[in-house]
Structure formats: structure tokens, C-alpha cells
A and B are shown apart, each in its own frame.
Chain A
């Protein structure tokens, strides 16, 4: 079962790697939207420094959401989702493998791009380490909650637009605690409380969302 799980993750990674530019779209989107902010609100470094944590987190959230459609849709259309559902792995584990694959191809690249963009936004250096940790804890939650939205809209014609409406309200707490941690570190209030809540949120999401996503997938495969 463990081999089946990692085979599935490996398959998603290989597909992403060989898909070329397609898998990098989320990161490119992240970089472009962040670069739009100085153009929109002005290049004063004090202003950018103040909004940097919020802008980075909002853009990371939108980039994650943008790539959610890929999680189950392609597998559903070409039929491989049905075959994996018939395989030895319970559907909940399939969901977890898909989430891991999604995080490795979007959350992780976002984390790598984030410090570079933080430099562009002139974010103060106290926040860098906490920004990385908050993204490390927060982006998996985004992928997990997103899996519910992706599973609920699998096979729907207008799924792409609908998914944002379903998922974004549920993302609000992650955004608040993620930005709270970075700002806490910058203003010297300490980030540990926010980071611990994010870690707790990750455990809760890890425990509950695979069941919801699997229930939704079962319905889609009926």
C-alpha cells in the first residue's frame, strides 16, 4: 500500500516534470501578481515594506487556488481516476497522494520563489525565516482544503470559476494566521503563537479533509 501511495505521487511528479511549462504556471502567476502590486500602489519602499507580508500571502493563496483544477480533473477525464479508485489504495489515501503531489508541484515552488519576491518588496529581514516557516505550514493546508473544492467540482463544466467561490472563504483563517506570523516577527511581537495555530490547523486539515474529498470523489465516480 505504501508503494502504491508513492507510485501515485511519483506519477504526478513525473507528469508535472514532463509537462514542461504547464506545471510552472502557478509560480509564474505568483511572480507576476506580486510584481503588479508596486505598479498598482506605487514604488515607495516604506509602503511596500508595510504591505509585503499580506501581498505575498494573498498571491500565494491565489496561485494555489489557480492550480487546484489540475488535481483531479485530468485524471477524471482520461479515466485514470476510476482505475486508481478500483486499485488497492483506499480513496482517502489516493486523495492524500494527490494533495502531496499538488503541494510538491505548487506549494514548494511558491516557497522557493517567496523570499526572492520578499526582497523585491523590500520586506524587512526579520520576517524572512518566519515567512518560510509560515508558508511551509500554510501551503499544505491550502492544498488540503483545496482538494475538497477540487473533488466537489470534478467533471463540472463551470468548475474552474466555481472552485474559487467554494475555496476562498475557507482560506480566510490560513491567510490571517500566516500574515499574522510574519507581521509578528517583523514588529517584534513574536510569531510562535500564529505558527503553532497554523501547525494545529495543518493537523486538523490532514485528519478531516481527505474524508470529505474522498466522499465527493465517490459521488463523482458513481
Chain B
């Protein structure tokens, strides 16, 4: 029992040492980059050229190959931020704080991409750029949550304080997201004519599912690539900060 406990604590703290993490990151970085490039290129070719046009939506539906994976990423990255924040808050795990901090701008970008592509898709489909649809509205609120998180994280002079404050915010936010989703659905059924908010989703052909899944894998790999780059620069920035502080003390 005691042995097992020791093992898990090693698992959690394995990457607490930034140097060890940097070695690991250097090893996987080329592979993840290659995976991102291959998946996104093949997914785009399959999705934009090979997959047949939808018999009702024509070619305009092809935007879902960007739109749907970026919406998934937007939600997934917020969950990652919340989990990393909890780990950083409970165990004071330095790398978890950095993962949360570095993920936030990427998540905000994916949320923005999802909103923009949704709006571009809405114009030919619904005849309007913006609809106060339940999903669109909750995505917009998620975008605001991301902005608040980023703003709070950078508001503190002391990065560890900023990390702890934004960790509390991320945890409050993750509790609130299902409530926001539920309330917006409720609000939408009261206010919106059902014809606009519901678009029927026929079972997809495999020629459309394959590029969608490829794009999703490619986006996850892309997230890891950007995350590793961000983490490297964050670790370097902390080192510079510590060196400067040491220099100032001498």
C-alpha cells in the first residue's frame, strides 16, 4: 500500500522538474508536429475535395470540418485548464500552473475560430451572420470566460499569485459552464422560433466522418505543438525572472 502511494506521487510530480519536462518535450515535439501537419493536410484534402457535396447544403457544409473540431477543442481546453488549475492549486505543481496559463490563449483562439466559422456558415444557411442560437450563445459566454481568465492571470505582478487566482476562477467557471449551458437552452426555447435553432442532423456518410475525425486529431496535435512552444517560452521567462531577482539581491 505504502509502496503504491509512493508510486502515484512520483507520477504526479514526475514533470514538476522543468528540465525533465523540457527533455521529454524535445523528444516528442517533432512527432507531434508531423502528426499535426499530416492530419490537417489529409483531413483538409479529404474534406474539401474528396467528400461529396451535401445534397441540401451544397459545398457550404464543408466549413464544419473546421468549425466542429474547433468547438470541441474550445471545450476540451477549458476542461484541461480546470484540471491543471486544480492540480496546480492542490499540489502547488509548477508545471500544471504553466499548462493552464499557456493553454488559455489557445483555447480562446479556438473559441473565436468556432464563433467566426459558425457565423460564416450561418450566412448561407440561415440568411444571417448571427443568430442567438443556444449553442452560439453559450460559446460566446465561454469566450468571455476565457478572456476573464487571461486578464486575471496577467493582472498580478507575481506570476505564482496570478496562477493561483486564475486557478480559483477556472474552477468556479467549470462549475458554472453546465449551468450556463442549461440556462441558455432554457432561454432559447422560450424566445427562439424552433425552425431556426434546430437544424436536422442526418446520419453522416463515412466519407464525411473520416475527414472530421482526422481534423480533430490534427487539431489536438496542433494544440500540443503550440502548448509545448508556449511552455518552453514560459519556463525560459521564469528562469530569466529568477536570475534577474538573484542579480538584484546581490
Instruction: Tell me if A176 and B187 are in contact (CB < 8 A).
Output: yes
B148, A169: Cβ atoms under 8 Å? Answer: yes
Residues of B within 8 A of A18 (CB): none
Q: Counting CB contacts under 8 A, is B165 at the interface?
A: yes
Given A208-B175, A212-B172, residue A177 in contact with residue B183 (CB < 8 A) = yes
- Output the least CB separation between B150 and chain A (Å): 9
6 more A-B residue pairs beyond the given contacts A152-B165, A168-B144, with a C-beta to C-beta distance below 8 A = A148-B168, A158-B155, A169-B173, A172-B183, A212-B168, A215-B168
* Assembled-state Cα–Cα distance A177/B144 (Å): 20
Most buried by B among A170, A183, A209: A170
Q: Least Cβ distance of B92 to chain A in Å?
A: 12
A166 at the interface (CB under 8 A from B): yes
Could you say which residues of chain B place their CB within 8 Å of the CB of A172? 141, 180, 183-184
B145 at the interface (CB under 8 A from A): yes
Closest to B187 in A: A176
- Which residues from B are CB-within-8-Å of A222? 161
Q: What does DSSP make chain A's interface, helix, strand, loop or mixed?
A: helix
Q: How far is the CB of A145 from chain B (nearest CB, A)?
A: 8
B157-180: contact bitstring with A at CB < 8 Å (1 yes, 0 no)?
Answer: 000010011001101110110011
Contact with A along B73-113 (1 / 0, CB 8 A): 00000000000000000000000000000000000000000
| Pick from B144, B171, B186: contact of A165, CB under 8 Å | B144
Knowing A165-B148, A169-B148, the reply to whether A148 touches B172 (Cβ < 8 A) is yes
CB-CB < 8 A to A152: which residues of B?
152, 165, 168-169
Complex: A148 Cα to B168 Cα, angstroms: 9
Would you mind naming 11 contact pairs between A and B with Cβ atoms under 8 Å apart? A148-B168, A153-B152, A162-B152, A166-B151, A170-B173, A170-B176, A172-B180, A173-B183, A180-B187, A180-B190, A212-B168
